[in-house]
Amino acid sequence: MKVALYSLVHDEISLKIVTEIVAFFASKGAGIQVEKELLQHIPNTDATPFDSHANLDPRTAVFFAVGGDGTVLRALHYIRESKIPLIGVNTGRLGFLATIQPEEMEAMLHDIVAKNYVTEERSILEIKTTPAVAELNEFPLALNEISLSRENTTSMVTINTQVNDAYVNVYWADGLVVATPTGSTGYSLSSGGPIIAPEAKSLVLTPIAPHNLNVRPLVVADDVEIKINVEGRGDSHLISLDTRLFSVPMNTTITIQKARNPIVFVRSNTHGFFDTLRNKLLWGQDKRN
């Protein structure tokens, strides 16, 4: 069995948990890879380093991301479309993607060895631009959402949007979020978008502060091609892919579609999506229930 671990190095609680996970799998004789910078903070280990998706062993059984939801999102940089199962151990605040709490970790480690867990496939997004933007092409994937927004101006932008070459709308707004079901509980939700169950084969287009009373979020099938052009008073606008932010010229043609392969999440048999909604977002909380 092979496992890999990634975490930010500035959090003592995360480092303690990573050290415990490494010790556990070392006692089981498992092969262990640890992200290169993180490995420097883990004492007494024979783990091997990785610093990119290219030298992450594709035979890895489970990839541990220890931290908050941002750490889970950054783990995608290493996993990409390899379909290596990902599990998040929460040492952050909300922990919507990092579903395993520190007090649950020991039991979960034994469940992983016994293969007593559930896997879920989650769709991810891929972006292409014309003309090409080199920074985006190096890693064009996002798990939660791809968003487009104004840059260095308080003026609205106009966002011309097509789905499968059919005209949808010109949004007069601060921006537009294109989210997966996984990302529907993130930026899209904060902008008034719907909650979408992870297994739904859908994407949602959610405008950010639209200056129009009759423009609302739009749910589309996840096998469509979404084409977007942004215009405005500035020379450029912003594109964010989860936690990464890029500046691109106005009138760049942006094409967004579902990536070929999903990302695979590992979760406990006792944790489901609706449990997470109730426990983390207090969804449906009512004193009458």
Residue 163's Cα: distance from chain center in Å? 23
DSSP β-bridge partners for residue 70: none
CA triple 187-96-284, angle to 5 deg: 85
| Residue of 69, 165, 235, 275 with catalytic role | 69
Helix crossing, 12-27 with 105-113: angle to 10°?
A: 30
C-alpha to C-alpha distance for 59 and 19, rounded to whole angstroms: 22
Q: What is the CA radius of gyration of the chain?
A: 20
Tell me which DSSP letter residue 100 carries. Answer: B
C-alpha to C-alpha distance for 212 and 171, rounded to whole angstroms: 8
Other beta carbons less than 10 A from residue 141's beta carbon: 19
In the residue annotation, 69 being an active-site residue is answered as yes
CA triple 240-257-99, angle to 5 deg: 65
C-alpha to C-alpha distance for 208 and 115, rounded to whole angstroms: 42
DSSP β-bridge partners for residue 237: 248
Other beta carbons less than 10 A from residue 203's beta carbon: 29
26, two tokens: 């070392």
Tell me whether the omega of the peptide bond preceding residue 131 falls within 30 degrees of 0, making it cis: yes
Token pair 């090409």 is found at 132
Residues annotated as catalytic are 69
